[in-house]
Amino acid sequence: MANSTHAHLRYNILDYCFRNKSFNFEELLNFVNEGIAELYPGDGISTRTLRDDLKVFRDKENGFGAPLPDNIRVLKYTDQKFSIAQRPLLGHEQYLIDAAQQLLSRFENHPKYDKLAEALIKFQDDEDQETEISKILFYDQNEEYKGIQHLKPLYLAIKKKEVLQISYKGFKYQESKVFEFHPHILKQYNRRWFVFGLNSSKSIQQWSIPLDERLIGFKVLEDKDYVESDKDWDTFFRTMVGVVRPADEEVVKVVLRFYNGREKYFKTKPFQPDYEEFFEEENKEDQVWFDTIMNNELVQQILSYGQDVEVLEPEELKIKMREQTKAMNQFYDL
C-alpha cells in the first residue's frame, strides 16, 4: 500500500490533476506537495511515494483501475469522465469507514453526531449498491444540483479568511458580473447552499450568493485584506424564513391558524423553528405564532399548506396572501 499519511488528500489532488491538468511527473509532484502544504504545513511526499500512488491508480484489482497509461510523459486520463469518486472503496478505505461507524456508535445518543452518523449510513448504502446489495435508503435530494462542488473551496476560503473575486451571472442577466467578496458563512436552505458575506464592490453587508450554475467561478485576491463579520448570524437567520432578507425589513409577529389537524404537521417540521403555542388561552390549540421578517419564502411556506392555514396577523401579511390567492385564481377560474 502507498504511504498512508494524508493518502486520501493526495488521491483527490491526483484525480483532479488527471482530469483537468496536463502535468509531467515533476510538475505533478510539485502540485501535489503544494496541495498538501496548504493543509499540512511543512509536509510533502517523495518521488517514491508518488510512484506508489500512480501504481494504486493503475491497479485494476486492488486499486482504482484508472485509465492512466504507463510510460507516458503527460499524466492524464484517457477518459476525462473517469473519477475515483465513481469507484468502489478500496479495502483499507472500507476498513476506515467501518471503524468510523463503530466509533460513532459510542455517541449515538448525542445529537451533535446525528448528522455525521446519517452521512456515514448513506455513504455505506451507496457503496452496497456497487456490490449488488439492495438499496435501503431513499433520500429527498436534488439530483440536478450543480453547485455542490463550490462548497468545500468556499468553506476553506472562509477558514483562511480569503478575499475572492466572484464571477456571477443571474438568470435575468445578459452578461456576467464580477465583484469583490469577503465570504463569512455558508447556509443551506431548501436543498441548496448559499454563501453570505460582504460585497465590497457594492459596499453591501450580508450579500448572499447561491451555489448553483449562476456562480460561474471565483479566485483568491492575494493582495486584499479580509474584512471580518460582526453579524450575529444565528439571530439573523432565526428571525427569517429562507435566505432572502429585504433591506430594512422589520421583524413582526405572525399568527397562523391551522385547520384539519394540520398544526400537528407544522409542529413536527416547522418552517420557523422558534414558534410558540398559545398554552394559556382557550380555543387556540390550532394556532401558533412567531417573530420573523416578511419575505417571499415566508409566503411560499404558508402557501404550501393550501386551504389548511389562515394568516391572522399581521394585516400586511394577510394582504400579501390575498394578492397571491387572487393571482392564482385566474389560472383556475371557470
Query: 6-26, pLDDT tens digit by residue?
Result: 888 898 899 999 988 999 999
Helix, strand, coil percent values for the chain (each to nearest 5): 40, 20, 40
Kindly list the domain boundaries of the chain, sorted by start residue: 7-87, 93-130, 148-231, 252-332
Give 44-51 contacts, CB < 8 A, sequence gap 24+: 45/3, 45/10, 49/2, 49/3, 50/25
Closest by CA to 241, choosing from 286, 287, 187, is 187
pLDDT of residue 1: 43
- Return the ∠ at Cα 104 (arms to 106 and 14), rounded to 5°: 155
- What is residue 39's predicted lDDT score, i.e. its pLDDT? 81
Nearest of 254, 258, 268 to residue 305 by alpha carbon: 258
The cell for 112 is 451533535
Residue 179: pLDDT band (50, 70, 90) is very high
Q: What are 313's three cell numbers?
A: 396577523
Which of 5-19, 84-98, 248-262 is predicted most confidently? Answer: 248-262
pTM for the model: 0.66
- For 35, residues 6+ apart whose C-beta sits below 8 A from its C-beta are 9, 10, 13
279 half-sphere exposure, CB direction, 13 A CA radius: 2
Helices (H), the chain: 7-20, 25-39, 47-58, 91-104, 114-130, 151-160, 233-238, 262-268, 296-303, 315-332
Residue 122 banded pLDDT, cuts 50, 70, 90: low
Least confident range of 31-35, 72-76, 172-176, 258-262: 172-176
What CATH code would you report for 7-87?
1.10.10
At 91, the pLDDT band (50, 70, 90 cuts) reads low
* Helical pair 114-130 and 91-104, crossing angle rounded to 10 deg: 150
Phi/psi at 23 (5° precision): -100, 150
CA distances from 97 to 5, 8, 195, 309 (A): 17, 13, 30, 45
| Contact predicate 131/88, CB 8 Å | yes
- Please give the grid coordinates belonging to residue 94: 472500507
Q: What percent of the chain has pLDDT over 70?
A: 80
Spatial distance between the Cα atoms of 278 and 284, rounded to a whole number of angstroms: 6
Q: Please give the pLDDT value at position 195.
A: 94
